[in-house]
Amino acid sequence: MNRRPRRNQRRKFKPAPKPDFKSIFIVDPVKGDRLQLAKLLKQEKLFMMTFVSLVDCFKQNNPIKPDLVIYVLRKGKTELTHLKNIKNHLRSLHFIIVLTSDIFEANLDELKDNGFTSVHKAGSQDMVKEHIYTLLPEAQMTQEEETPEQEAPAQIK
C-alpha cells in the first residue's frame, strides 16, 4: 500500500544560510604579535584564526576555509619562498604580506608570476586594516553597528 504524505506532512528543506562573516587566517610565528594583530582586527563580522606556520593554516582536517590570509614575514621562519609551496587552487585567495623589521622589503611581482591573483603588501597593522576593508568591504562595520557613544545630558537654562 503506497501512501503519499499529506501536504502538511511533507518535509520542506530550507537552503542552508550562508554565513555573513568572513574568515581571516593570521600566520605569524611570534605569538604576541599574532595576538595583537587579531585584537586590532577583532569585529563581529570577522572570524579570525591564528597559526604559527603556513602548513598549519592549510591542513586538510581544517573545515574552515579562509577568505583572506595575513602572512607576517619573519627571517628564517615565514618567508615569501614558503608561499610558493602552497597548492594552485589556494593561490586565488586574498593575501596580505606584512613586512617587519626582519624583512622590510618584498617583491610581489614574483608571486604574481607564480599564479597569485590577489597579493598586497602592508608595512604596519593599520595598513593591514585598510587592505582588509578594501578586499572585504562587507566586513567593515557601519556606523549603526558601532557602539553608540553616550551623549552628554542637555543642560537646562
Q: What's the chain's Rg over C-alpha atoms?
A: 22
pTM of the model: 0.74
Confidence band, pLDDT 50/70/90 cuts, at residue 143? very low
Residue 71's CB is within 10 A of a number of other CB atoms, namely 23
107: Cβ contacts below 8 Å, ≥ 6 apart = 80
Give the whole-angstrom CA distance, residue 49 versus residue 1: 55
- Collapsed DSSP state (helix, strand, coil) of residue 9: helix
Q: How many domains does the chain have?
A: 1
Condensed to tens digits (0 to 9), the pLDDT of residues 103-132 reads 888 888 888 888 899 999 999 989 999 999
| Domain span including residue 42 | 22-139
In a domain, 116, yes or no: yes
What CATH number did the domain enclosing 75 receive?
A: 3.40.50.2300
In a domain, 5, yes or no: no
Tell me if 120 sits within 8 A of 95, measured CB to CB. Answer: yes
In a domain, 1, yes or no: no
Q: Which residue has the cell 606584512?
A: 98
